Structure formats: C-alpha cells, structure tokens
C-alpha cells in the first residue's frame, strides 16, 4: 500500500503505514513568498492512500494540490478530521454550505473517502463516496473499568457518549446546551447524579473550548477530564479549559496535537485492508 502523508497528518500516516506494512511516499510542501502553496509528490503510484486532515485553510488547499498531483492514480482518501463540516446547511440566506463545496471537490478526485466522526449526519449526507468511522469505542476503552461518569455536553453528543460508555462499562448522561454565537454557549444543568464523582466530558470536537468551559461550570463534581475525537483547539482553548479546572484533556490523532494520545490508526488500517 502506497501512503501519501498530508502535511497535517504525518504522524497518523506513519502509524497507518506501520500497521498495514505500507510504504510512505515523500511529498514536498512549500509556500511561495506571496503565501501560495506548492506540492510535489516525489513518486506517483498507480494506486495510493492519501491521509490528510482539514484543520485549516492551508490543509484544504494542500489536499486539493496533492489530489491534483495524483490525477493519474487511483486514490483512496482518508480525511481523519473533516473540517468545514459544521457549516452543513444554509442557516441564513446567501450562506455557502461549506461542507457541500468541500465534498464536491474531494469526490471529483477520490474514488473512495474515509473520515472519522464527521460532525453531523447532515454533513455526511453531502457525500456519495464517504464512509464515516467511529472513534468512540477507542475513547471508551481508555476508561475501561474506571469509576467514572461520562457526560455529553449537549443532546447532539448523546449517541456518541452512549458508545464510549458502553466500551468503558460506565454510566452516562448529557447536559442541555444552547449556542448563542460562534464563541458563546450556555449550558443548562440537568438533574444528574454526579456530585462527588469523577466525570469525563465526551465530545466530538473541542474547538474554542467554550462548550467544555460552560459544561464544567454547570457540574459540581470531584474531578473533570475531557476526551474528544478532534482536538481543534483554536486560539487559547487549552489554556481556557485547564483554567476552568479540567484535570486532563485527551484526544485522538485525527488532529495532531500534544494531547492526541489515542491513535485512530487501527480503525483506519482495518478498513484500508478490507
Ligand atoms: C457542537 O455541536 C460540537 O459537538 C462541539 O461541542 C463544538 O463544536 C465544540 O466547539 P467549542 O469548543 O468551540 O465550544
């Protein structure tokens, strides 16, 4: 298996290569003085797997350039973190449905696409060739046999937390969340039996950290940890989260950050080998 490591996913690419016995192909990534990006894939195979998360505009442009460089190859695309998926519908007249635009571009190049915990069913629905993988079992296993309660910060995350809690073998519940704007959320506590317990807040994405900070404020618990799939961690999110009293934040390596200690490579390697 020939693996093309995207600029945003070098560690995960090498983990997938190790698990599958695949070969990493070297890619040159460069930025011109005016800010434009450049890609050269040093060897173009007949068939390959591209691994690239989209956690910034540069990541997206680099991905399009990689796919273009591979125009004569049969490409399986792995986008571990599918950015732009939160704009999955037109909320206001005149808005772009960003994930639809991304889907059109990626599907025009790739034969098949895999991602991990895409943000919503609506986002997923814009793709025809996409398979969405679930990292919640991997997160749940990290807490196996630990005396914790898993909490979803909103009802939308309830299905995810159910899966993680099943693999951990622990209790779960959820909070009521209302988004005021892109940076502000309000959390309404439910009548949870968590007082004095160790809580793990489970989410798909931690971006600004606003959701986590508000969730922590609404809980009166012994200790709080956070586990998420995608550690987007925009701006000083990590600082906000730790200052709010979170003991630990743990994420997968769909976005490669210092906190990305759970690898999704087994999940991805398995589907690539089918
Ligand atoms: C929202 O529906 C998601 O599941 C996350 O809760 C949200 O994207 C987190 O964003 P932030 O960290 O900016 O509050």
Which three-class secondary structure state does DSSP give residue 124?
A: helix
Closest to 206 (Cα-Cα) out of 161, 241, 245: 241
What is the Cα gyration radius of the chain? 19
**Residue 226, number of CB atoms within 10 A of its CB:** 28
For the question of residue 177 being annotated catalytic, the response is: yes
β-strands 176-181, 184-188 pairing: antiparallel
Index of the ligand 1 atom closest to the CA of residue 185: 14
> Which of 42, 89, 121, 177 is the catalytic position?
177
Index of the ligand 1 atom closest to the CA of residue 211: 14
**pLDDT tens, 247-270?**
999 999 999 999 999 999 999 999
C-alpha of residue 211 to centroid of ligand 1, in Å: 6
The pTM for the full model equals 0.94
Index of the ligand 1 atom closest to the CA of residue 183: 13
Q: Which residue has a Cα nearest atom 3 of ligand 1?
A: 205
Whose tokens are 């892109």? That residue is: 182
**pLDDT tens, 189-248?**
666 678 888 999 999 999 999 999 999 988 878 899 999 999 999 999 999 999 999 999
Lining ligand 1 with CB less than 6 A are 153, 156-157, 185, 203-211
**Contact between residue 96 and residue 247 where contact means Cβ atoms under 8 Å apart:** no
DSSP 174: E
């Amino acid at each position: 298996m020939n693996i093309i490591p995207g600029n945003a996913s070098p560690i995960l690419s090498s983990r997938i290569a190790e698990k599958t016995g695949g070969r990493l192909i070297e890619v040159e990534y460069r930025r011109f003085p005016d800010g434009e990006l450049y890609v050269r894939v040093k060897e173009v195979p007949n068939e390959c797997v591209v691994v690239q998360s989209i956690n910034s505009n540069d990541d997206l442009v680099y991905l399009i350039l990689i796919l273009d460089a591979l125009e004569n190859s049969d490409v399986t695309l792995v986008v571990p973190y599918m950015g732009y998926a939160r704009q999955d519908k037109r909320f206001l007249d005149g808005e772009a449905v960003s994930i639809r635009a991304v889907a059109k571009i990626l599907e025009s190049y790739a034969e098949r696409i895999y991602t991990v915990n895409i943000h919503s069913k609506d986002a997923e629905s814009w793709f025809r060739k996409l398979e969405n993988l679930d990292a919640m079992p991997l997160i749940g296993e990290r807490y196996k046999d630990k005396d914790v309660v898993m909490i979803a910060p909103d009802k939308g995350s309830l299905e995810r937390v159910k899966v993680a809690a099943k693999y951990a073998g622990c209790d779960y519940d959820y909070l009521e969340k209302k988004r005021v704007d892109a940076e502000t959320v309000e959390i309404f506590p439910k009548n949870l039996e968590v007082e004095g317990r160790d809580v793990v807040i489970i989410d798909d994405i931690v971006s600004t950290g606003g959701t986590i900070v508000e969730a922590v404020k609404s809980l009166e618990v012994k200790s709080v940890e956070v586990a998420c799939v995608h550690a987007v961690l925009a701006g000083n999110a990590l600082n906000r989260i730790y200052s709010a009293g979170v003991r630990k934040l743990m994420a997968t390596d769909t976005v490669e950050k210092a906190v990305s200690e759970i690898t999704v490579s087994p999940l991805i390697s398995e589907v690539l080998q089918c």
